[in-house]
Every structure is written in C-alpha cells, then in structure tokens.
Chain A
Amino acid sequence: MQKELWKGNEAIAEAAVRAGCDAYFGYPITPQNEIPEYMSRRMQEENRVFVQAESEIAAINMVYGAAAAGMRAMTSSSSPGISLKQEGISYLIGAELPAVIVNMMRGGPGLGTIQPSQSDYFQATRSPGHGDGHMIVLAPSGIQEAVDLMQDSFDLADRWRTPVMMLADGMIGQMMEPIEWKQRPAAPAADKPWAANGQGERGHTNFVTSLRLDSVDNEAFNEALQQKYADIGRQETRYEAVDCEDAELILVAFGTTARIALSAARKLRQEGIRAGLFRPITLWPFPTQALQQVAGHPNVRAVLTVEMSAGQMVEDVRLALCGAKPVHFFGRTGGMIPEPAQVAQEIRRILKEEQA
C-alpha cells in the first residue's frame, strides 16, 4: 500500500477512528492539540461522539461514563493534564473499565515546558492514581508504530477490561513521517454484559462501581486484579531487540530515545564497538525476562539506559538485572533531547571504565 505523510498527533487520532473509537473527550494542551482538533471534525463525519470538556478531569470522567455504558472511549492530553486525570484513571481501574488514554509527554515538573520528555514514566507504570492499580502502557518509537499500537490499544482495553495508556512524547506528536495504513481484520465486538446501558430484557440491573466498602470484598477484588495483572504480564509483554546477539553493551531505551540510542549504536559499530538496543514496547508490563535473557549473555559487559528524564525506567532495568550486570544511566531532562553523539560518547566512556 502507498505510504502517506502524516503528523504524529493526527495519525494517532485517525488510527483511533479506524480502531472503532466511539467517543473522544478532550481538553486543549500542547503538544497534543492536533488530536482533539482532528477528532472534532472526524468524529462528526463518522457520526460518533466528540466533546471538548471543561477540564481534563471532566474529560476522563466522560470517558468513564461512555466506557461504563459499553462504548470504546478515549481521551488524550500531555503531562500536566495527565496529572489531572489520575483520579479518573484510578476509578477506571477500580471499576475495571476499558479506555484508551494518550499522553504526549512534555517536560515537567509543574507547568515545565512544551518540549518532549519521558518524565511521566513513574506516573504511568508504578500505580496511576491511588490504590494498587496498573494500566497497560504502550510506548511507540515512531508514527507507524504509534498508529499500529493505537489500533491494538482498544482491543487490549476491551480484552482485559483495563485502561491502556499510549505513552509517547511531544516529538512523536509533532513530527511527520511516512506511514502505511495496514489492513487489519476488524476486532470482534467485545461482549460487555456488565455495561450500564439500560437493563432491557437482561432481568437484572448492572451497577458499575469501584466501591467495595467491605474490606473482605475489596481484598478479594484486589487479589483478582493482581491475578489479572500476572496474566497480562505473561500474554501481553512486548519488546524489540536490535543488534543484541553479539553486543558488549546493551542500550535500553523506549520511544523517541530508542531511535537516538540506535543511531548511537550504529555509529559505534563503524568504530568496532558492538552496542545493541533493547527497546521495551510495553512499559507496563515491563519485559523483565526478555531483558534478563538479552543482558545475561556472556558478551554483555554493561547496560546503559537512556531516557529523557532524570532516571526512571532505569529502576526497572536494575530490578530486572538485580546486579547481574553493571547498569548505567544517561539522561537529559526538562525538555532537552539527548544527541546520538552524546550517547555514543557515554558508551565509549563506560566500556573504558568497565575495562579498567
């Protein structure tokens, strides 16, 4: 199929339309404004629902309502707005509702900057909102992958009755790349017998709630939730390993930073330094076992995690490797983007240090 040039935010919005998103609710914030702008027109063309909410809080709660009533619903925002959505995400988890949330990360803390960042990794992967919850977190490294994952995200949300976050950054939202719209088999309509959409002939009412006031009930729910998370970990973990087979140093990076890290690795190959890239695609569940396998190879002398943050995913890398290999970190913060030459220099330094 012919390739088309698309801007990241608009491509993600179109991918959601093609994935059968029934309703979009959003609020303006840079650098993701093209998503609600595009949706305001496209959803109307498709006779679907678009509402510009009064706040990110209202938008995520509109998603909660549409999802509770059985629809495929999504919202998008960027870091400060995602902070406001944390309450709603916790309720989505507590009520086991499927929903898709896009975070085009920008540099924080506070109002920070509109430039790209990856500093919401902790917020997305540790436990969004309050309580012992998780959501599936997908991290595309380019617009083609963002489009493909966007379409998967609605299926994953329905399959596991969970919110799914696409965690990208302002770079992916704002740049343009050629993409191909792949023909995908339509996902079978998910059976949602729990939806609150009128009891009709069902014979009983549905009550979608995250309230389980009796602690015994709430513990049973939490245990079932953890069981579900274990199943998700076994079945949905995704990653990519590039040039890792003979590598003496493994770079670990996701999203935009993974592309920069790969540029550095390829540059170093020309100098005879064998660096490979391990790229988590699901940040939660984190591909722990795959990383252990890749980094556990006897050739590997060190691991370098590269992020646009002060060091967040590096904690998962250290937890995965448990001291089996030295884990280093290189990051830029506040909206600054690492350059391939900087990463390459860091690799040279580390290998020299490990040799000594």
Chain B
Amino acid sequence: MSQIVYQRSAGLQDVETHYCPGCHHGIIHKLIAETLVELDLCASAVGICPVGCAVYAGNYLNCDFIEAAHGRAPAVATGVKRTHPNLPVFTYQGDGDLAAIGAAEIMHAAMRGEKFTTIFVNNAIYGMTGGQMAPTTLEGQKSTTSQLGRDRQHHGLPVRMAELLSTLDGMAYAERVCVADMPSLHKAKRAIKKAFTLQMQGIGFTFVEVLSTCPTNWGMSPVAAGQWVKDTMTQYYPLGVIKDVEGTL
C-alpha cells in the first residue's frame, strides 16, 4: 500500500515562488507554514512582509498578510498585535530591511516587549536590489557597493542583531539557526515553532535569525552558497540560543 510521506504543507498556497535557485527563502517559508499548521494558526495568523525579496510572502503562505514599508514591519506588527492581542502576528524581514532602515523599529519593538514573532532572514546582502552591502555583510565580502570588499575602517564591522536585541529586557527568546543541512533545518523548525508557542503564551518578543543564502548576488552555485553559510557565516554569526526566558518568569 502506498503512503504519503511528504507533501506541500497546507500552510503554503499552491503557487510557484519567484525565488532564485538555491535561495533559502522557500525553505524558511516551508518551516513557518508547517509551524502554522501544527499549531493550528493558519486561520488566525497575520504576517507582515518586508520590502525585499520576501515582499510577496503574502502570496505564498496560507494566512493573512500585510505588506509594510521598508523596515517598518515591526511598527505595523505593533499596530496589528496591540489591536488584536489574541491573534498570532509575525514579521518576516531581511537584513537590509531589519538591520539598516528598520533598525529603530525592531529595537523599539523589542524594547517594548511587543508580543509578536520576528523571523529575520540574514543573507549578508541586499538581494532584491541587486547585491548591495548590508549591515550584515561580512568583513572582506564583496558586494556591488563594496566592490573591493567590506573594509572595517571604512564600513565598520557587521552587526549581530540577535545578540544586540537580546540585551533588551523585552526580548523573551532569540535563537540563530540556518537551514543549510538537514540537522540544522530541524533545529530551525524547532526554533520557529518555539517562538510562535511562546508568543501565544504572551511572554514577550520572540526572534529567530535564520542565516540564508543568496547564490545570485554572492556569485556562487546553490551548493557552494549553502556551504558558505555553514563554513563562513556561522564563524561570525554563531548558531544557537542567545536568549530564552522561558521558565524563568
């Protein structure tokens, strides 16, 4: 007798995504979709998508969505969550969106302990606009606006947002994960599910940073890009739980 062992999650809409080959957005979407289904949140969740490659996330995930101005997703999410405290609310933001133009909004959402979840996709570059330097671009990394490589004297060094935000009392849970291999992917899934679970318990701001690829703008094959996440990005952005107040309150 045949048995279904794998299929498209009911948390995803039945459409093709526009993401490049080897981009991890699709995998991260899938993990969120599975989480929404497993926690029975598809009917109630409201997602906020950023300006960046994930601007169409609302066409891919099977829940209500709001498209925010660049960097403002945490403010938009605040407006939704404060008026609908019982709904699960999450932002899905890239590193240009969250760590550059939206740095103030994410800091203050964390400071206020806003009870929503942020999925922060860090691929160390601006993807949609064509590979410009982000606050997360690694030292020496070449981008279209750091063509000789990021120079610490000129650009400063990249920011570790999960650690930075974890200094704030409003942050309840922060973990950095990647999806570059199966063990990491399972950990990422657990982190996302935990973030949504804690959100629904109302204990504070929850944050999952996902290291991700951008083969197109990195100039790498999908396989090499995945390897670069594991070998190079994790050296500067260590994986693991950075803050977890569960059980301490």
Contacts and interface: CB of A to CB of B under 8 A. Distances in A.
Interface of A: 22-23, 25, 49, 51, 53-55, 57-59, 61-69, 71, 73, 87-88, 91, 95, 196-201, 205-211
Contacts of B64: 196-199, 205-207
B76 A61 contact: yes
29 contacts: A23-B82, A49-B83, A54-B108, A57-B104, A58-B78, A58-B104, A61-B75, A61-B76, A64-B72, A65-B66, A65-B77, A65-B78, A68-B66, A68-B80, A69-B46, A71-B83, A88-B72, A196-B64, A196-B65, A197-B46, A198-B44, A199-B43, A200-B44, A205-B63, A207-B58, A207-B67, A209-B66, A211-B55, A211-B56
Given A61-B76, A62-B82, A197-B87, 10 more contacts: A49-B82, A49-B83, A54-B105, A54-B108, A61-B69, A62-B79, A64-B69, A69-B79, A196-B64, A207-B66
Contacts of B66: 64-65, 68-69, 196, 207-209
A96 to B, nearest CB: 13
Given A71-B83, A205-B65, A62 B76 contact: yes
Contact of B75 (A23, A49, A53): A53
Nearest to A90: B69
A280 B59 CA distance: 44
Contacts of A66: 79-80, 82-83
A200 to B, nearest CB: 5
Nearest to B51: A211
A144 B112 CA distance: 37
A210 B112 CA distance: 28
B53 to A, nearest CB: 13
A197 B62 CA distance: 13
B112 to A, nearest CB: 8
Q: Among A65, A88, A197, A209, find the residue whose CB has the most chain B CB atoms closer than 10 A.
A: A65
A58 B107 CA distance: 11
Given A54-B104, A209-B67, A211-B55, A198 B46 contact: yes
Given A54-B105, A197-B84, A199-B42, A61 B79 contact: yes
Given A91-B69, A199-B42, A23 B79 contact: yes
Contacts of A63: 79
B197 interface: no
Interface centre among B44, B56, B68 (most CB of A within 10 A): B68
Nearest to B107: A54
A206 B65 CA distance: 6
Contact of A64 (B68, B82, B87, B108): B68
* Interface SS, B side: mixed
A87 B69 contact: yes
Interface residues of B, number: 36
B75 to A, nearest CB: 4
A92 to B, nearest CB: 10
A198 B78 contact: no
B58 A64 contact: no
A61 B105 contact: yes
A198 B67 contact: no
Which residue, of A53, A55, A63, A198, has the highest number of chain B Cβ atoms within 10 A?
A198
Interface string B32-48: 00000000001111101
A86 to B, nearest CB: 11
Contact of A198 (B13, B43, B48, B58): B43
B151 to A, nearest CB: 30
Nearest to A205: B64
A190 to B, nearest CB: 15
A49 B82 CA distance: 7
Contacts of A68: 66, 76, 79-80
Nearest to B58: A207
**Among A51, A55, A73, which residue has the most Cβ atoms of chain B within 10 A?**
A51
B58 A69 contact: no
A337 to B, nearest CB: 36
